[in-house]
């Protein structure tokens, strides 16, 4: 199938080419897919997209009008795809529901360890010949209470790691996952907010989870709580969390995702002035660590994403579109 790969980086090509083995004609576009760039897909059967492509009704209507019949997301989340618009346009949508839950879970743990032991600050100090320890005091993870919101594939992997540190793990999810029996205790969300020293978000962005972390929920948390978000930026009301950091109600914040990341992440803007004042304020806190949506970015995950994406293109070609990868 002729497939236009949007938001394509060299590492995408490096992994998609060996998985594809020339079966489909893959054409790579650096541009994000959005209403302005959708016409580039003219003459293609499928588009292959990533987290910050805009697959809204307008983009999808253009895709439909230029003959695209399939959207192959090379990620798990599909909150950026208007599924109703896709159905209306007769376009099928597949994603990669699971590639490496360990990649994201381990990155969440990396943010916790970095924040707790002030590794980012220590790194800079040592490079400056400064070996003083003031301000670097951490705490043992052993014996602390960790709240996991969302216990699907990533939440389970994360909970297991934290249990391995000797943490008490509390979990919240509308569906209890039997894999966590003996690892975590399911509790009501308000109990998790009240008791957790560290809260890590692993639920999808849905209308019900939008701004799950807000002024009200932050006020229910333990003073000095650590909040980790490797899921989707829209789960956190950023101005509310900034207020929480200023009042020290929030003691630490580790982010791999940000609500307005579409205009920022995955690109080099080191020669450009930062225009996002909310993001700029976040960067001023010594107890905030931000990575640019790299939690998924491991060799194992990229290989798995490429394999499943090609498998999804194969399946569409064969008309075999019933499995869990298909969301529309
Ligand atoms: P999953 O579908 O296996 O699990 C999601 C879990 O969240 C499910 O158990 C679901 O029941 C639960 N959930 C739904 N609504 C909830 C709510 N209101 N409160 C609590 N839990 C709720 O998904 P996954 O593979 O574990 O991925 C989790 C999220 O991680 C994805 O939605 C995606 O946004 C994010 N993600 C981020 C990266 C990254 O690089 N930063 C990479 C992959 C996935």
Query: Contact 162/151 with Cβ under 8 angstroms?
Result: no
The partner residues of 46 in beta bridges, in order of sequence, read 3, 70
pLDDT given at position 149: 98
Would you state the pLDDT for residue 324? 82
Class of 2-99+299-318 per CATH?
alpha beta
Q: State the CATH class of domain 101-290.
A: alpha beta
Q: Measure the CA–CA gap between 7 and 93, rounded to whole angstroms.
A: 17
Measure the CA–CA gap between 267 and 290, rounded to whole angstroms: 15
**Other Cβ atoms closer than 10 A to 194:** 15
> Residue written as tokens 């950023």?
238
Residue 99: phi and psi, rounded to 5, are -125, -65
39 CA to middle of ligand 1, Å? 32
Instruction: CATH 3.40.50.720 in the chain: give the residue spans.
Output: 2-99+299-318, 101-290
Q: What is the pLDDT along the chain (328 residues), one digit of tens a residue?
A: 999 999 999 999 999 999 999 999 999 999 999 999 999 999 999 999 999 899 999 999 999 999 999 999 999 889 899 999 999 999 999 999 989 999 999 999 999 999 999 999 999 999 999 999 999 999 999 999 999 999 999 999 999 999 999 999 999 999 999 999 999 999 999 999 999 999 999 999 999 999 999 999 999 999 999 999 999 999 999 999 999 999 999 999 999 999 999 889 999 999 999 999 999 999 999 999 999 999 999 999 999 999 999 999 999 999 999 888 999 9
Strand ranges across the sheet with 198-201: 185-186, 168-172, 145-149, 198-201, 225-229, 250-255, 288-290
120 noted as active-site residue: no
Which residue in the block uniquely carries the two structure tokens 């998924």?
Answer: 296
- The predicted pLDDT at position 262 comes to 86
Q: Which atom of ligand 1 is nearest to the CA of 230?
A: 41
Cβ pair 93, 71 in contact under 8 A: yes
Closest CA to 278 of 266, 294, 290: 290
Q: Shortest CA distance to 282 belongs to which of 328, 311, 250, 308? A: 250
Of 173, 177, 327, the residue with max ligand 1 atoms within 8 A of its CB, to mutate for a pocket test, comes to 173
Name which of 299, 285, 283 is nearest 248 in CA terms.
285
Q: Is 293 a catalytic residue?
A: yes
120, 114 contact by CB (below 8 A):
yes
Residues lining ligand 1, judged by CB closer than 6 Å? 76-77, 101, 104, 149-155, 172-175, 202-204, 206, 208-209, 230-232, 256-257, 293, 295-296
Dihedral-angle region of residue 58 (phi above 0 means left; psi in -120 to 50 means alpha; beta otherwise): alpha
Q: Which pLDDT does position 77 carry in this prediction? A: 85
- What pLDDT does 2 receive? 98
Q: What is the per-residue pLDDT for 274?
A: 96
pLDDT at 209: 98
| CA atoms within a 13 Å half-sphere pointing along the CA-CB vector of 36 | 2
pLDDT (0 to 100) of residue 320: 92
188 is catalytic: no
21 CA to middle of ligand 1, Å? 31
Reference 45, options 67, 27, 64, 26; nearest CA is: 67
């Amino acid at each position: 199938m002729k497939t236009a790969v949007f938001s394509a980086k060299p590492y995408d090509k490096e992994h998609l080419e060996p998985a594809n083995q020339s079966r489909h004609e893959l054409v790579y576009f650096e541009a994000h897919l959005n209403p302005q760039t959708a016409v580039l897909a003219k003459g293609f059967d499928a588009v292959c997209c990533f987290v910050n492509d805009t697959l809204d009704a307008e983009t999808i209507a253009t895709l439909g009008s230029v003959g695209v019949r399939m959207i192959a997301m090379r990620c798990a989340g599909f909150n950026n795809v208007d599924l109703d618009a896709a159905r209306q346009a007769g376009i099928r949508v597949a994603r990669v529901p699971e590639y490496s839950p360990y990649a994201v879970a381990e990155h969440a743990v990396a943010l916790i360890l970095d924040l707790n032991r002030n590794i980012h600050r220590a790194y800079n100090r040592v490079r400056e010949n400064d070996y003083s320890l003031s301000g670097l005091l951490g705490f043992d993870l052993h014996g602390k209470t960790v709240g996991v919101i969302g216990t699907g594939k990533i939440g389970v992997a994360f909970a297991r790691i934290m249990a391995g540190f000797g943490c008490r793990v509390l979990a919240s999810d509308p569906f209890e996952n039997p894999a966590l029996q003996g690892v975590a205790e399911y509790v009501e969300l308000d109990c998790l907010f009240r008791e957790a020293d560290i809260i890590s978000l692993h639920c999808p962005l849905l209308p019900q989870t939008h701004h799950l972390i807000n002024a009200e929920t932050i006020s229910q948390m333990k003073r000095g709580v650590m909040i980790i978000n490797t899921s989707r930026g829209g789960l956190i009301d950023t101005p509310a969390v900034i207020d929480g950091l200023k009042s020290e109600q929030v003691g630490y914040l580790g982010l791999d995702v940000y609500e307005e990341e579409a205009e920022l992440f995955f690109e080099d803007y080191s020669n450009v002035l930062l225009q996002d004042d909310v993001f700029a304020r976040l960067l001023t806190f010594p107890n905030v660590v931000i990575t640019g949506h790299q939690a998924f970015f491991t060799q194992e995950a990229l290989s798995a994403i490429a394999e499943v994406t090609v498998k999804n293109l194969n399946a569409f070609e064969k008309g075999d579109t019933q499995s869990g990868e298909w969301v529309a």
